[in-house]
C-alpha cells in the first residue's frame, strides 16, 4: 500500500508549502500601492489659497467639490458644470451626511464659490468646509476690517479697563 506522503518522501518532494515568497511579494505590492495611491488624487491642477490656520485632519471618504480657475465645477472626479444643483441633489452620500468640502482654485471667481455655498445651503447641507493650504499670509494682505484678537477694530487697540 503506497501513501501519498511516503511517495513524496521517496521522490524528495516537499511536505509543507513555503509561504515566505508569497509574503515577500505581498509586502512589495503593499508598499507600491501605498506610494502610488496619493499620486492618483492629484489629477486636477488647482492652486489653493494660503491662510494662517492649523491643519485639520479630514476623513478619506469626504465628498469634495472642486472649482477650477476656468470655472469648471467637479464633484469627485466628474465634471458637473452646468448641472451642479441636479448633481448635488442626486448624490446619495451628500443627502445622507449633509457634509460638503469645497476646494476652489485661488484664481477662481468668487461668484462661483458663493453660488455653490448658497446652493448647498438651499439643499440643507449644514456642514460646509472650505479647503485651503495651511501657511502664513503676509500681514499686508489681510483686510483692514478684521478685528483684533481683543475684539477692537483693527488699527485700534482696546483701552484696558480701569475699574
pLDDT band of residue 157 (cuts 50, 70, 90) is: very low
Enumerate the domain spans of the chain.
Answer: 7-40, 50-136
pLDDT of residue 8: 54
Does 17 score more than 70 pLDDT? yes
Global pTM? 0.49
* Run of H or E including 65: strand 64-67
Does 142 score more than 60 pLDDT? no
Q: Tell me: the pLDDT tens digits for 26-75?
A: 999 999 999 888 777 656 666 767 767 666 555 556 788 899 989 899 98
What is the torsional sign of CA 84, 89, 91, 93? positive
CA 148 from chain center: how many Å? Answer: 31
Q: How far is CA 135 from CA 48, 50, 52, 75, in A?
A: 11, 6, 5, 26
What does the DSSP 8-state code read for residue 141? G
3.30.420, 3.40.720, 1.10.8, 1.10.3470: which CATH number matches 50-136? 3.30.420
Amino acid at each position: 500500500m503506497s501513501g501519498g506522503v511516503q511517495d513524496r518522501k521517496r521522490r524528495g518532494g516537499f511536505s509543507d508549502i513555503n509561504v515566505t515568497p508569497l509574503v515577500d511579494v505581498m509586502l512589495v505590492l503593499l508598499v507600491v500601492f501605498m506610494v502610488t495611491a496619493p499620486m492618483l488624487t492629484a489629477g486636477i491642477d488647482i492652486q489653493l489659497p494660503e491662510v494662517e490656520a492649523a491643519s485639520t485632519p479630514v476623513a478619506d471618504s469626504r465628498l469634495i467639490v472642486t472649482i477650477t480657475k476656468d470655472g469648471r465645477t467637479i464633484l469627485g472626479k466628474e465634471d458637473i458644470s452646468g448641472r451642479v444643483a441636479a448633481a448635488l441633489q442626486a448624490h446619495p452620500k451628500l443627502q445622507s451626511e449633509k457634509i460638503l468640502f469645497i476646494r476652489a482654485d485661488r484664481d477662481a471667481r468668487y461668484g462661483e464659490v458663493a453660488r455653490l455655498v448658497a446652493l448647498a445651503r438651499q439643499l440643507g447641507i449644514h456642514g460646509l468646509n472650505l479647503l485651503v493650504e495651511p501657511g502664513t499670509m503676509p500681514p499686508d494682505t489681510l483686510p483692514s476690517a478684521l478685528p483684533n484678537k481683543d475684539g477692537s477694530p483693527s488699527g485700534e487697540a482696546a483701552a484696558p479697563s480701569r475699574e
